[in-house]
A and B are shown apart, each in its own frame.
Chain A
Amino acid sequence: MTDRNLLIVKLVSLALVAVALVIAGIQFHDHRNYQEEVVKGPGVTQVKKLSDYFEPLKGSINDCNIYIIDSGVPGGTAFLIGSSHPEEPAGNLTAQLFVENAKLAKGRLIVAIRANQSASRVSRPGDAYPLYYTIETPWGEKKFRMGDRWSSPLDSWPDPEVYVNYPSGQLLAYMDVRNFNRTWPGRANGMITEQTNYAFMNVIKEEGVDIFIDLHEAELEYPVISTIVAHQKGADIAGMASMLLTSTEFRIGMEYSPKSLHGLSHREVGDHSDAVSILLEAPEPFLDRVRGITDEKLLLTGQDEFVVMAGKYGLLYEKIDEKGWPIDVRVGRHCSTVLMIFELWGDFNPGKEVVIQQVPRYDEVVQNGTGYYFRDPSKAKTEDIYYE
């Protein structure tokens, strides 16, 4: 090849790479900076920032909103968080549904919709994750960021050879230093994910939280699924909730939080605060390793023939058929389970009730769809719109 032709090839390849770089770069940039609209519901009395509880997070990517719904009537204080793992959308959708709808007759409810903002602003292209998903509402489509399990390396780098959880000293996988549900109870001078957990622990302590619920989803290949995982302080409530929900609405199990498994919210929040800590798992076939085409459709319908086949071979811990596990079913399960746990909390702790109204239960969410419960930002006052 002549020098002139070689030069042309080099210039053309660089130009093509530049085009690909710009296209990909714009998509990644837009995803990281996309703001989800949240319309303040009728019950929200105050919206604070996480940095109000831990100053060093001020202005950082993980300085999320803390929504407070206060009845003004003395009772208990509950704390609900979504998006510990932003690749589990039923968590943040349920939390947002509570913020936009819940009114309290007694006690206080605190909600964080996007607990780990950094992880919600990075996707996993290597696993073909979509960048966004949309939920149908009566007023149009509502768009959400699809996130990852771990905080973005842009915000937390490098990872250690082995992550040593503080203060337990338990050894965990290196990338779990960026896993919001392996870094509890956090560390003030740690990496940003640990600092975020530390800030959340401050919320729990300063607000006097009585009961804490962390919303998750799991692959069907994982044994901890369709269940309530409870710290021993909340075992009675979780067990009763499991029995009542299974007999009236849907089957859900109950598991004890292992005492020697550290870094997870159901263990550390209970161990390091006065709050009862509980974690909920709903089935999300999108996360199964045996899944087929990985796209928004699978994320929202939970329908996948390969996961169904895995079930026929007895490789799963939850049932699945051609109907899959639609997002409305998963959000509905979370709504009913949270409401049931709060009802039981009140029964077990007179004087510390948290009475929630206007949040739909499982049947209503499945019938009407999750989007039915999201408010139209275009019809809301500017001061009532917050961004996640």
Chain B
Amino acid sequence: MAILNSIISVCYYLISAFVVFVLAKSIIKTKNVQDAILYSVMLMPFILRILRIK
């Protein structure tokens, strides 16, 4: 079970990194100001998790 959890945990970090990538791409592409700000704020928890800070 512990090994399975470790594998899922690694996948979770990869998914977090993918979400950061998608959000960054969305920030670049969007023409809407509110969306750009929203995507920027959404980056925070994912970056903190990838860096293993929170």
Contacts and interface: CB of A to CB of B under 8 A. Distances in A.
A interacts with B: yes
Interface of A: 1, 6, 9-10, 13-14, 16-17, 20-21, 24-25, 28-29, 32, 154, 156-158, 189-191
B37 A29 contact: no
A191 B2 CA distance: 6
A383 B47 CA distance: 39
A6 B31 contact: yes
Given A9-B37, A10-B36, A24-B44, A190 B52 contact: no
Interface residues of B, number: 22
Given A6-B33, A13-B37, A28 B54 contact: yes
Given A10-B36, A13-B36, A157-B9, 11 more contacts: A1-B33, A6-B33, A17-B41, A20-B44, A21-B43, A21-B48, A28-B54, A32-B53, A157-B5, A157-B8, A158-B5
A360 to B, nearest CB: 38
Contact of B8 (A20, A21, A158): A158
Interface string B9-29: 100100000000000000110
Contacts of B28: 10
The 9 A-B residue pairs with the shortest CB-CB distance in the complex, in nearest-first order: A13-B40, A17-B40, A13-B37, A28-B54, A10-B36, A28-B53, A25-B53, A157-B9, A14-B40
8 contacts: A6-B33, A6-B36, A13-B41, A16-B40, A25-B54, A154-B54, A157-B9, A158-B5
Interface of B: 1-2, 5, 8-9, 12, 27-28, 31, 33, 36-37, 40-41, 43-44, 47-48, 51-54
Nearest to B24: A14
Contact of B1 (A9, A24, A157, A189): A189
B20 to A, nearest CB: 12
Contacts of B43: 17, 21
A190 B51 contact: no
Contacts of B5: 156-158, 191
Given A10-B27, A25-B48, A157 B36 contact: no
Nearest to B36: A10
Contacts of A14: 27, 40
Nearest to B44: A21
Contacts of B33: 1, 6, 9
A1 B37 CA distance: 15
A21 B47 contact: yes
Contacts of B2: 189-191
